[in-house]
Each structure stands twice: as structure tokens, then as C-alpha cells.
Amino acid sequence: MTSNVQGTRRDGSRDIRAPRGTELHCKNWLIEAAWRMAQHNLDPDVAEEPSELVVYGGIGRAARNWECFDAILKALTELNEDETLLVQSGKPVGVFRTHV
């Protein structure tokens, strides 16, 4: 999914805000919840150092780098109801069909 593991970790121009309202950006509300929570983690009102993807504790990051963060959000918007997005070490590594 993403091959650039050495991407940008600091970006002071990014102002991520937790989405609000009833507009759906993903294919269902369960996927939308993950999409919104990822952005909520970097909302300046709750994140420790949002420009560096740090959400808490000085080292806890929302993603490996900004390229991976964007790739995670993009993958969530494209994810189907019967699929699961695998995120490992802060980067999206695959989409798999979910078996119920």
C-alpha cells in the first residue's frame, strides 16, 4: 500500500480537525468512525504535538509519517463493508476480505 517509510514526520502547515456532522465520507458509519477517530487524534484540542503526529506520551504517533497518515485515510474512504484495513507500525499494509 505504501512503500515510503521515510516520509515527513513534521508538517506545521497541517491543521487536522475532528470531522463533525452527518456527512458520510466512507461507505458506512463503522468505517466512518475509524476515519473520524484518526483525525480526532490529531485535532490540536486533544493531540500533544499534532504537527509531528504525536497524540500522547511524547512518542505515541497516529501514523509513521504524514504520507502514511494520508494513505490510511484514503484507504478507509475506499474500504468496502466486507473488508478490513491492516495497519502495522503506523502504516497501511493491506486490505483483506473480512470473513464473518
Q: What is the residue type of 33? A: A
Which DSSP state fits 45? T
In this prediction, residue 88 carries a pLDDT of 96
In this prediction, residue 4 carries a pLDDT of 46
- pLDDT tens readout for residues 20-64: 999 999 999 999 999 999 999 999 999 999 999 998 877 889 999
Higher pLDDT, 25 or 4: 25
Conformational region of residue 90, where left means phi above 0, alpha means psi within -120 to 50, and beta covers everything else:
left
**Alpha-carbon separation of residue 17 from 20, 39, 97 (angstroms):** 9, 6, 30
Q: What is the residue type of 31? A: I
The pLDDT-based confidence of 6 (bands split at 50, 70, 90) is low
Mean pLDDT of 2-11: 63
Question: Does position 3 have pLDDT exceeding 60, yes or no?
Answer: no
In this prediction, residue 35 carries a pLDDT of 97
